[in-house]
Amino acid sequence: MNWIELDRQHVWHPYNSLPSKSDLLSVKSTDKTSIFLEDGRELIDGMSSWWSCIHGYNHPRLIKAIKDQADIMPHIMFGGIAHEKASILASKLAKLTGLNSVFLCDSGSVSVEVALKTAIQYQEAKGLKKYKFISLEHAYHGDTLAAMSVCDPNNSMHSIYGSYLPKHIFTQAPELGFTADCSSSIKALEDTFLKHEKEVAGFILEPVVQGAGGMRIYNPEFLRKARELCSKYDILLIADEIATGFGHTGKMFACDWADIKPDIMTLGKGLTGGYMTMAAMITSKEVSDTISNSNLGILMHGPTFMGNPLACSVAIESLNLLEEGSWQKNVLNIEKIFKEELSYAKELNIVKDIRNIGAIGVIELKDESKAQEIQDYCVEHGVWIRPFGKLIYSIVAYTIKDEDLRRIIKTMIDAIKSIETR
Ligand SMILES: *Cc1c(COP(=O)(O)O)cnc(C)c1O
């Protein structure tokens, strides 16, 4: 029996039935920004594997980091044990973020869980019973239960798990647009803080770009205000930089657009260059000291694969590549190409909005139902994208060639045109 038949029998795919109701692409291998299918076709990758593969696939230095570490020590438990690669990675992350205390974990959603637990423990350590979180409409913070509970309640899986999830406080999302007037959402935020300050442990947000909840780019001014309010009410600011981190918006972290530091940051996706699963929750020294000096005195979390040395090694090498610095020039160039090429979508009837920042380009349609058709068209024409709902978007590796990026965007627009004329 061939493996594709085995997949149909046994493998549950993301957000899918078993077997899948739509065709799955059978991928054989990858290289740079190309995906090679079992049937011999080559697709240009417009997704960078859910925004993680920032240096492209099969990068010789990243591959070497994994191979070398595999010979030395592929894994060791982290409880009661320290190892060099974790300490190098943590110190690099501390330096890069301007924060201090690094908790390594398995995936983005888990780092959000740990961030929420940390915020609760911090408030407990101060003798406060604050168990609620403020989050934004259109927020996305992951698929595990606590992470889901701070995702937009209307636009996520809340309705499925409804009464199981804790109820948190949602405030108006910042207005769409990097330079938009955000006085209305700021006013709403002030009111929310005033009303709930006594019960709220933290305010979690995706800085500057709300990702999977709507690909919404907003004004960094909102972030500055969030920082100010959190400091004023001693509510922890949790910046979920899992999607935006490591250069995706043109700055190393999206918080840099507002020159602010959160109390807690979550990182994932691009952390290992997209080669291994790993995420991090990073806090200020104030937060880790407060918890460490409390009665309990410890942070209560410890995943089996915490600090996996293979993942640490490849993350270190990915950070080395970023430190060498050409990402910034590359992302600026990508941003310029997105801006130019996306403008051709503006006049199409079924297009509601186009927007872009850094390595992220988005076309929002007026109508929900066309995502699968657009994906199919792009694949037929040699491009891999995976739209959701009304959002046709691409987030590319920083190493993509100009002509490949132009082809991705042109194919996205052609796909929309093909639907419009049908
Ligand atoms: C992807 C994502 C997550 C979840 O990360 P996983 O590694 O998929 O668990 C959380 N927050 C944001 C902003 C994300 O984009």
Q: What is the pLDDT of residues 118-133, one digit of tens each?
A: 999 999 999 999 999 9
* Residues 336 and 408 reside in one and the same domain: yes
Pick the last residue of a domain from 292, 307, 322: 322
For residue 323, pLDDT over 80 is answered with: yes
Specify if 64 maps to a domain.
no
Examine residue 63 and state whether it is found in any structural domain, yes or no.
no
Judge if 108 and 35 occupy the same domain: no
Closest C-alpha to 277, from 115, 420, 75: 75
Task: Kindly state the DSSP code that residue 37 receives in the 8-state scheme.
Answer: E
| 206 within ligand 1 shell (Cβ under 6 A) | yes
Neighbours of 295 (CB within 10 A): 7
The answer on 315 and 167 residing in a single domain is: yes
List the CATH number of the domain containing 297: 3.40.640.10
Q: How far is the CA of 141 from the centre of ligand 1 (A)?
A: 6
Catalytic one among 225, 269, 370, 390? 269
47 and 215 in contact (C-beta within 8 Å)? Answer: no
Judged against a pLDDT cut of 90, whether residue 360 lies above it is answered with yes
Task: For residue 132, give the 3-state DSSP assignment.
Answer: strand
According to DSSP, residue 176 is labeled: B
Please name the residue ranges forming H helices in 84-205: 84-97, 108-125, 145-149, 158-161, 183-196
- Is there a domain that residue 304 lies in? yes
360-365 sheet: strands from edge to edge: 351-357, 360-365, 391-395
Ligand 1 neighbour 319 (Cβ under 6 A): no
Residues 297 and 333 in one domain: no
pTM over 0.95: yes
Same domain (yes/no): 10, 149: no
**Higher per-residue confidence, 209 vs 4:** 209
Alpha carbon nearest to ligand 1 atom 7, residue: 108
258 within some domain: yes
User: Facing residues of 395 across strands?
Assistant: 360
Q: 350 and 292 in one domain?
A: no
- Other Cβ atoms less than 10 A from the Cβ of 351: the count is 20
Reported in sequence order, the residue ranges of 167-271 that DSSP labels E, i.e. its strands, are: 169-171, 200-205, 209-210, 216-217, 236-240, 264-267
Whether the per-residue pLDDT at 156 is higher than 80: the answer is no
What's the number of domains the chain is made of?
2
> Do 120 and 220 reside in the same domain of the chain?
yes
Residue 408 maps to a domain? yes
Same-domain status, 207 and 86? yes
- Ligand 1: atom nearest CA of 269 is 7
Q: What is the end-to-end Cα distance of the chain in Å, rounded?
A: 39
Q: Which of 116, 141, 255, 271 best tests ligand 1's pocket when mutated (most atoms within 8 Å of CB)?
A: 141
195-213 pLDDT, tens digit each = 999 999 999 999 999 999 9
Report residue 349's pLDDT band, with 50, 70 and 90 as the boundaries.
Answer: very high
The answer as to whether 25 is a domain residue is yes
pLDDT at 385: 97
pLDDT at 22: 86
- Is pLDDT at 266 greater than 90 in this prediction? yes
The answer to whether residue 249 sits within a structural domain is: yes
Protein residue whose Cα sits closest to atom 3 of ligand 1: 142
Last residue of a domain, one of 300, 322, 344: 322
User: What confidence score (pLDDT) does residue 346 get?
Assistant: 93
pLDDT over 90 (residue 162):
no
Domain harbouring 392, CATH code: 3.90.1150.10
Whether pLDDT at 171 is above 80: yes
Task: Say whether both 315 and 338 belong to one domain.
Answer: no
Last residue of one domain, picked from the residues 276, 297, 322: 322
CA 145-146-147 angle, 5° bins? 90
User: How far apart are the CA of 39 and the centre of ligand 1, in A?
Assistant: 31
Q: Which atom of ligand 1 is nearest to the CA of 240?
A: 13
- Output the pLDDT for position 47: 98
Helices (H), 197-325: 221-233, 285-292, 309-323
Q: Is residue 67 part of a domain?
A: no
Q: Does residue 46 have a pLDDT over 90?
A: yes
pLDDT (tens digit per residue) in 69-113: 999 999 999 999 999 999 999 999 999 999 999 999 999 999 999
| Amino acid at site 290 | T
Q: Are 414 and 379 in contact (CB under 8 A)?
A: no
Residue 140 Cα, ligand 1 centroid: separation in angstroms?
Answer: 8
**Do residues 80 and 36 share a domain?**
no
For residues 241 and 278, state if they share a domain: yes
Compute how many other C-beta atoms are within 10 angstroms of the C-beta atom of residue 166.
13
Q: What is the three-class DSSP state of 187? A: helix
Q: Judge if 210 and 134 occupy the same domain.
A: yes
User: Domain of 399?
Assistant: 1-57+324-419
Contacts of 47 (CB under 8 A, 6+ apart): 384, 385, 386, 394, 395
